[in-house]
Structure 1
Amino acid sequence: MIELNSLRYFVSAYEVRTFSKAARENGVSQPTVSAAIQKLEDRLGASLFLRSKTGLTPTPLGTRLYHDALNSVTHLTTLESRILNQPKQNVRIHCAPDMLINSLASGLSSLRREFSDLAFGFTAEAKDSDITYTTDVCLPASHSFILLEEETFGVAFSSKHPLATLSEVRLEDVRRYPIIHRPYCPNADHMDMNALSTAPAAQAMNDPQLMDLVAADLGIAFTPRSHARYREDVVWVPLADRNAGTRKAGISHRRSALATKLAKKLAEVIKSG
């Protein structure tokens, strides 16, 4: 039988990508984490990580185990606090409409395991949040900002689109294809919509919706590179002859001690993922 502690150490290592950080998260020594994961690998008969000087890279088996075990580990880790009805610390979260929640969700799951008394609630407005997943130009005035990555914009196509196989495209290549507009995005006006299409094929309310519309081949969209990271049905291609813009994505937080601590931890988990 696979032990809970072994799975807990594995999930931490998967998220932070080093045994030393996973050990600090769980209050144990690095050899304890290494031995537990080695025991898991021996039981499963295959490697869960590729080890290198730069950190850990999950194998396909490691990725499968992470997604299969995550909910169970979180549920069992927080069992004591639920049974004892310990009071919750409510943390208000906002995800900006031009951000995808995938990375944020896994980071929140990691926080929930480490701080079992947390309860997350999502807010409609960034100004009402303790922590916001956003860009540097959209953070509330009362928040500090932790940069996660700076990325360029390019063209998102459905994987079925005739241009999806290209390594780069020119503006003239995409001009005749309908576009899906992102009116909520500060970078949306960087591209001249009139130069691309007489009218948008659709107007999305947020980027998760936008990516579903692109995947359905309703139109193309100008998005950050990372937006295709979690989709097999969407392909991101850079523009060769025009600057489509850049953005700085990160975590903003209120300047309270709790929000600052949680935001730093959240940013560490997202960066390592």
Structure 2
Amino acid sequence: MDTLETRELRYFVAVAEELHFGRAAERLGMAQPPLSRAIQRLERRLGVSLLERDRRGVSLTGAGEVLLHEGRAALDAVTAAARRARRAGDPGGPRDRLVLTVKAAASHELLQKLLAAYAAEPGAAEIEVLPSGICEQGELLRDGRADVALMHTPFNSLAGFDSEELLTEGQVAILPAGHPLTARGTLSMAEISDIPGLPLARWARDGAYPPGPGPEIRDQTQLAQLIALGRTAAVIPDSARAWLWAEHAAVPLTDAPPVVTHIVWPAHSRSLALAGLIRTATRL
């Protein structure tokens, strides 16, 4: 039988992510024995082994890895469908509304132009802007909290989404004001990567921070404060200068990879309001 229940997928994903039946049961708020039986029934129905169990613990089989990847996507889709349906049927809310998520303080000028141009279109929907943390826009699109996003490559993954390119720009180094290197007209990536006492800030990628001596950054405010205090430096798109403090200085980088801003949306979307916003964005 090929049909899977949402409950079964939630059980399996919890076990597959925890790789421990006890922790998975605690996460799900249930006892361990019924969880173990549910996974065994799922394996029998599918006719494959999803988990390897031995004295060392639990690990995923090849089939289990596939189901974990597909199961996460399916659960996200179910959650997104519920959220979007609830929002569409809200009697107290606007009939047409789009939630646009963008990384806080990024693409400020482009976002202003986009919102103004779209608002001038006949029949434009209401746009709710949802600021997000670093690299969170994809998650917000997948689980239905947002309908559309402004995302940036190479920092964000666009896998599984439809997108249109809007803007390509260079990058700048952000240093504490008064640092000797701020007197330079330009810098190279090698120079910014090896400043004594001023390590580059580190952002999480896929839930993990890359190795390095720089501080682990969780949000824009933390980054701004640490740069102002002379504890770190950062490399950001040129347009992000909009959030700089007086205690910061920006120096263009000659060899940093270009940053491309995209408007991004779920591939299955059939929203006419979204189609209108995308048309406006690509005309800017």
Structure 2 length-normalised TM:
0.48
Q: Which has the larger radius of gyration?
A: 2
